Amino acid sequence: MPLQNDRLLRALARQPVDRTPVWMMRQAGRYLPEYRDIRGQAGSFMNLCRNAEQACEVTMQPLRRYSLDAAILFSDILTIPDAMDLGLYFETGEGPKFRKTVRSADDVAALRVPDAERDLDYVMNAVRTIRHELADSVPLIGFTGSPWTLATYMIEGGSSKDFRHAKALMYGDPAAMHALLDKLARSVTDYLNAQIRAGAQVVQIFDTWGGVLSTPAYREFSLAYMARIVEGLIREHEGRHVPVILFTKQGGQWLETIADSGADAVGLDWTTELSDARARVGDRVALQGNLDPNVLFASPQAIRDEVARILASYGSGPGHIFNLGHGVSQFTDPDHVAAFIDALHELSPRYHG
Ligand code: CP3
């Protein structure tokens, strides 16, 4: 079946569109009262992820409010370490935590590579349910964390500010770190391919913590594994190319090497100027971004001005996917998101056709 709205796929292929496509990282979530309702009924975040009907409902919620050009699977990047039996749990207000950590070569050796179809079947069920519900209205984006980003959570046992355990392993026992990243790269490749077979039409790799590395460490411990994943992905499904978006937060300084990774598009946070980024990558990749999510705390007029500035910075022609530079905050007013999307739909057509 042809997609009714294929703006995202066209922009990813750097083909002409009538207006700039848009979706938001973390577009489903706590800033929406209807999400908080169903999250309360589910009892826990992971219960929500494991229930295909509820995960589907939550995926659809932002699409009912706003004219977005894509849906994103409702799940989390930490499903893989959870399937490796590290015991993921969420402490209210404290973010994710693991009962077991991975801190030595022996810990790494003991880890098994999950079988995505079997161990993460609840994710594939959610993908199939969402695709059915979308009925080819907009494409569905599947996703994963990068091996480096997943490794930081597994080694630290949760979120971190300084990544001291992860960096201690990386600098102190690089062979053990490579063994861990190798297992994660194999797990992620299998996981994304299972999502693609289940119906994900685009995939994004979230490298949330790649930007905390030095330039050589980024290449060796993060980018190299993402490039390997891209190489191992199913690149055509349902008769269509399956594009890959690579998002390294704070990765703007490495844009050229990221663009050489084999990805179709590079996601940018707000610290990299789009005009600059475009000049640097030419027509090698599409670019996604990059409104500072905190702009949404300002007035609708200020939001509109910033949307206008970003559109002008990218300039005319195809290859831009509008997004935030990171996930939408839970404290965002849903009406301000509406102001953002409305401004974009009003202002972007002049940059096309
Ligand atoms: O984008 C979407 O709408 C799809 C759903 C999605 C979630 N997490 C749902 C979620 C996606 C794409 C993610 C990715 C994710 N998860 C990342 C990478 C993107 C980024 O923000 O950098 C990371 C680092 C995580 C790990 C994670 N999961 C954290 C740190 C937390 C707790 C803190 C927080 O920001 O909420 C989660 C939990 C989580 N994942 C929630 C949601 C809606 C909130 C849980 C709840 O409802 O109680």
Q: φ, ψ for residue 31 (rounded to 5)? A: -70, -15
Which residue's CA lies nearest to atom 40 of ligand 1? 76
Residue 227 lies in a domain: yes
Give the CA distances from residue 222 to residues 176, 184, 269, in Å, rounded to whole numbers and listed in that order.
Answer: 15, 11, 17
Whether 80 and 214 map to the same domain: the answer is: yes
Range of the domain at 276: 1-19+271-353
Structure tokens at 105: 């070569």
Ligand 1 pocket, residues with Cβ under 6 angstroms: 25-30, 39, 45, 72, 74, 76-78, 90, 95-96, 143, 159, 206, 208, 327
pLDDT for position 67: 97
Q: Ligand 1: distance of its center to the CA of 320 in Å?
A: 24
Same domain, 85 and 219: yes
Of 227, 246, 267, the last residue of a domain is 267
Ligand 1 atom 43: residue of nearest CA = 29
Residue from 65, 76, 163 to probe ligand 1 pocket by mutation (most atoms less than 8 Å from CB)? 76
* Nearby residues of 146 by Cβ (< 8 Å), 6 or more positions away: 188, 205, 206, 207, 208, 210, 222, 225, 226, 248
209 and 82 in a single domain? The answer is: yes
pLDDT reported for residue 1: 73
Within-domain flag for 68? no
- Cis peptide leading into 290, omega within 30 of 0? yes
Which residue, of 233, 267, 301, is where some domain finishes?
267
144 and 197 co-located in one domain? yes
User: In angstroms, how far is CA 149 from the centroid of its own chain?
Assistant: 12
Residue 107 makes CB contacts below 8 A (sequence gap 6+) with 101
pLDDT of residue 145: 98
Binding-site residues sit at: 26-30, 76, 153, 208, 326
Quote the CA–CA distance of 223 and 192 in Å, as a whole number: 17
Q: How far is the CA of 76 from the centre of ligand 1 (A)?
A: 6
Domain termination site, one of 240, 267, 294: 267
Are the CB atoms for 264 and 14 separated by under 8 Å?
Answer: no
Q: How far apart are alpha carbons 145 and 149 in whole angstroms?
A: 6
**Closest ligand 1 atom, residue 327 Cα:** 21
Asked whether residue 47 is domain-assigned, the answer is: no
Going from the Cα of 45 to the center of ligand 1, the distance in angstroms, rounded, reads 10
The yes/no answer to whether this complex scores an ipTM above 0.85 is: yes
325 and 246 share one domain: no
DSSP conformation letters of 290-318:
EE-GGGGGS-HHHHHHHHHHHHHHH-SSS
- The residue contributing the CA closest to ligand 1 atom 2 is 26
Number of domains in the chain: 2
- How close is the Cα of 228 to the center of ligand 1, in Å? 24
Domain assignment present for 319: yes
| Residue 228 identity (one-letter amino acid) | R
pLDDT score recorded for residue 93: 77
| Helices 147-156, 224-232: inter-axial angle, 10-degree rounding | 120
Let me know how long the chain is.
353
- Shortest CA distance to 325 belongs to which of 301, 304, 306? 306
pLDDT of residue 303: 98
Give the tokens for residue 341. Answer: 């999307």
The residues annotated with a catalytic role in the active site are 26, 30, 39, 76, 153
10-residue mean pLDDT series, the chain (353 residues): 94 98 98 97 95 98 98 98 96 89 98 98 98 98 98 97 98 98 98 98 98 98 98 97 98 98 98 98 96 98 98 97 98 98 98 93
Same structural domain, 221 and 280: no
> Do 289 and 184 reside in the same domain of the chain?
no
Shared-domain flag, residues 151 and 259: yes
Minimum-distance ligand 1 atom for the alpha carbon of 28: 3
What does the pLDDT read at residue 209? 98
**Residue 78's CATH number:** 3.20.20.210
- How many other CB atoms are found less than 10 A from the CB of residue 189? 22
The predicted structure's pLDDT at residue 252:
98
Distance of alpha carbon 147 from alpha carbon 178, whole angstroms: 10
| pTM of the model as a whole | 0.97
Q: Are residue 286 and residue 338 in the same domain, yes or no?
A: yes
